[in-house]
Each structure stands twice: as C-alpha cells, then as structure tokens.
Copies of this chain bind each other. A is one copy, B any other.
C-alpha cells in the first residue's frame, strides 16, 4: 500500500491524475480532429489546478455552471467563459463585472432575462439561446418557432448582446445503455437544434453555432456533423454511471473515495464504512433486483485501485455511514483483505456531486488539490 493511503483518516477523494490527463487529452484530440471548439465544463472538477491540465491540452475556452464559479476561474486566468445555466438576474451586477473583464457567454431562454440584460449590462456579452431538445430541463422547446424568433429578435435589438448560437444539454443521453442508443439520442438532439438554426437562418439570423455538452455522446461518437462546440464535463473523471451508460470503461474512471472501514459484519455480509451521503451524495443506480446502489467497491492497491469487486455494492447510505453489502464470494474476499481501521475504495455513482461534496482531491502522488470555495450566503 503506498504511503499516501497511510495519511488518509477520513473519506477522501482520490484522484488518478494520469487517467484524468489521459481523458482530457483524448477529448481534446477528438475535438481537434473534428475541428470543433472544445469548451469543457469545469463544474465537474471545480479546481484551478485541474484547469491547468486542460490548458496544457490547448484548451482556451471553458464552461461553468454558476457566476461564482466563473469568478473563481477568471481569477485563475481564464478569459473566455460560458455560464451554462439560464441567466440568474439576481446576480446581474456580478455578471456585468465578469463581462467587463473577459469574453463572457450567457444562456437565455426567456424574454424577461434578455430585457434585464439589455438594460443593465455595461459590457458586451455573447448570447446563446438555450434550446430544450426534449430533456425538459431548461431552454426553449426546439419546435417553438415563435419563441425562438422572438428571442433572437430581442437579442438583435440590444447593442451589447451578440447572438452566438444555440446550446443544449442532452440529458436524455444519460438514460442510454448502448452506444447505438447514445448515437440515436445525439442524432435526434442535433437534428432538432438544426431545425431551430434553419428557422432562424430563414429570418436573417445566419451563421449561428450549435453547442452540445453531454459526456456520453462526446465520449462515444467519433464524428460530429452539424455541431460547432463540445462542452462535456464529467469525462475528466467519469464514474460508475458513465460505465453503466457505456461512455467509458472502468480503466477510465479517475476518482475513487477512500473510506475508512469501521465495522465488518460476517453475519449479514456487510462492511460498515465511514463515507455517507455528505461524502458520496445520494445519487444511485438501480440494480437488477430493483434495489438501489450508491457506489461500486474497489480495493486500494499500490499505485491506484483494483477493478470493481463483482457482487459487492453500497446498499445503503445515511449522513456519514455507507453500508457495503456483498454476495458470499465477494464478502469472503472483502473479509480476507480488510480489517477494521483499513480503507476501502468506493467508485461514486456521479463524480460531479461527490467532488462538490468533498472539496479536495488527493492525488496518488500525495498532492492535495483544492477547489473553488463555497460562496457566502449573502454577498
């Protein structure tokens, strides 16, 4: 066991920097091959240090999910940032301050936001109309021609707003479990965005770009017709959900939570971990028998961690407890390799939420990387 593990005394997010850098290089190369702008979403890692790994791969433009995150990365030298969330008008002053110092891209999905931006912005911004291609989260419905046109016209009337294109997040891709399902979801999404682009082109809004963001499509597809920009985020670490979707292999997963073992119960094939909902999040996957799982189980080993232990999973989670359950053979292996006071690795279901909770990374080389601070309640 490497000495870095010996320093761990509470649930800790381990980061395999080599895998993360490989994930970054692979996605950057794919974007370059397709002559697309690669604008990775930094909400997954939220770390200036990891941001530098992207810069080394040639990345110049980034995506974030909040105004506070934009300010954090701006302070670390990023000057071309998309806030991929419908404009929060209550932060208009902070947004305007960003617009004054860098190339800021904003998402709009309603007229009210455009009107406030038009009256309050003092610096230029690039505007993307957020399009709902069927996911029903935020955005204008892709076939709502009247609203799309009304938004484009209102934007065009504002001196400080330049309409850049149409942006979507294909959340539907996360329901896919095969490459062909991911490809189908992508095709549907892009065709719908292209419908909206063609509509606007017919009304003199030409040259609009299309930006997509989901990690499954960006990971699995090789060719991206009709698209101008890729904004995946999760791929830097991947996680169990992405393995389930088929977007990556276990060897691509770059983060694992090292959890202290506080109990071993052979009478019920359970291992009790210090590692609960405030560390892993309550994100879950449904097992074949209908029960939920909150993480996959790996052994920490010299230089990293093992493949997942088949027949073992986090069956239950509360604020600080994680309960690993195992079938007999898997439990026998757990019992033979673990002791109370040892460590077990849990592959998170959703690494974005886990990273957001743990706020620090410990690399396999023993370096601690920090993350954007939590903004205060009221600024």
Residue numbers of A with Cβ under 8 A of B are 7-10, 12-13, 43, 65-68, 85-91, 94, 109-110, 112-113, 116, 136-138, 141, 144, 171, 260, 262-264, 267-268, 270, 272, 274, 277-278, 281-283, 316, 318-321, 323, 339-341, 343, 352-353, 356-362, 368, 374-379
- Please name all residues of chain B whose beta carbon is closer than 8 Å to the beta carbon of A89 when the two chains form the complex: 260, 262, 340-341
Q: How far is the CA of A379 from the CA of B341 in the complex (A)?
A: 17
Known: A12-B377, A137-B323, A318-B137. A263 touches B341 (CB 8 A): no
Known: A109-B263, A138-B272. A8 touches B90 (CB 8 A): yes
Q: How far is the CA of A116 from the CA of B262 in the complex (A)?
A: 12
Smallest CB separation, A240 vs chain B (Å): 15
Establish whether residues B356 and A377, one from each chain, have CB atoms under 8 Å apart when the complex forms: no
Establish whether residues A319 and B378, one from each chain, have CB atoms under 8 Å apart when the complex forms: no
What are 20 A-B pairs at a CB distance below 8 A?
Answer: A8-B378, A10-B88, A86-B263, A89-B341, A90-B260, A109-B262, A110-B340, A112-B340, A112-B341, A113-B340, A116-B341, A138-B263, A144-B267, A277-B353, A281-B282, A357-B357, A360-B376, A362-B378, A368-B376, A368-B377
Known: A8-B90, A10-B67, A319-B353. 18 other contacts (CB 8 A): A65-B320, A85-B321, A87-B262, A88-B274, A89-B260, A109-B263, A112-B340, A112-B341, A113-B262, A136-B323, A138-B272, A171-B318, A282-B282, A282-B283, A360-B377, A361-B377, A368-B376, A374-B374
- Please name all residues of chain B whose beta carbon is closer than 8 Å to the beta carbon of A116 when the two chains form the complex: 341
**Chain A binding site: helix, strand, loop or mixed by DSSP?**
mixed
Smallest CB separation, A345 vs chain B (Å): 15
- Please name all residues of chain B whose beta carbon is closer than 8 Å to the beta carbon of A321 when the two chains form the complex: 85, 137-138
Known: A359-B374, A362-B377. A10 touches B90 (CB 8 A): yes
Q: Which A-B residue pairs are the 8 nearest by beta carbons? A: A89-B341, A360-B377, A112-B340, A86-B262, A9-B90, A282-B282, A138-B272, A7-B378
Q: Which of B13, B137, B378 is A12 in contact with, Cβ under 8 Å?
A: B378
Known: A86-B262, A318-B137. A378 touches B368 (CB 8 A): yes
- Please name all residues of chain B whose beta carbon is closer than 8 Å to the beta carbon of A12 when the two chains form the complex: 377-378
Establish whether residues A91 and B10, one from each chain, have CB atoms under 8 Å apart when the complex forms: yes
Q: Which of B141, B352, B377 is A358 in contact with, Cβ under 8 Å?
A: B377
- Please name all residues of chain B whose beta carbon is closer than 8 Å to the beta carbon of A361 when the two chains form the complex: 377
Q: How far is the CA of A323 from the CA of B136 in the complex (A)?
A: 9
Establish whether residues A282 and B320, one from each chain, have CB atoms under 8 Å apart when the complex forms: no
Q: How far is the CA of A203 from the CA of B110 in the complex (A)?
A: 73
Q: How far is the CA of A138 from the CA of B268 in the complex (A)?
A: 11
Q: How far is the CA of A316 from the CA of B132 in the complex (A)?
A: 15
Smallest CB separation, A96 vs chain B (Å): 13
Smallest CB separation, A377 vs chain B (Å): 4
Known: A10-B91, A339-B112, A341-B112. A320 touches B85 (CB 8 A): yes
Establish whether residues A353 and B8, one from each chain, have CB atoms under 8 Å apart when the complex forms: no
Establish whether residues B340 and A262, one from each chain, have CB atoms under 8 Å apart when the complex forms: no
Q: How far is the CA of A339 from the CA of B89 in the complex (A)?
A: 11
- Please name all residues of chain B whose beta carbon is closer than 8 Å to the beta carbon of A9 when the two chains form the complex: 88, 90-91, 94, 378-379
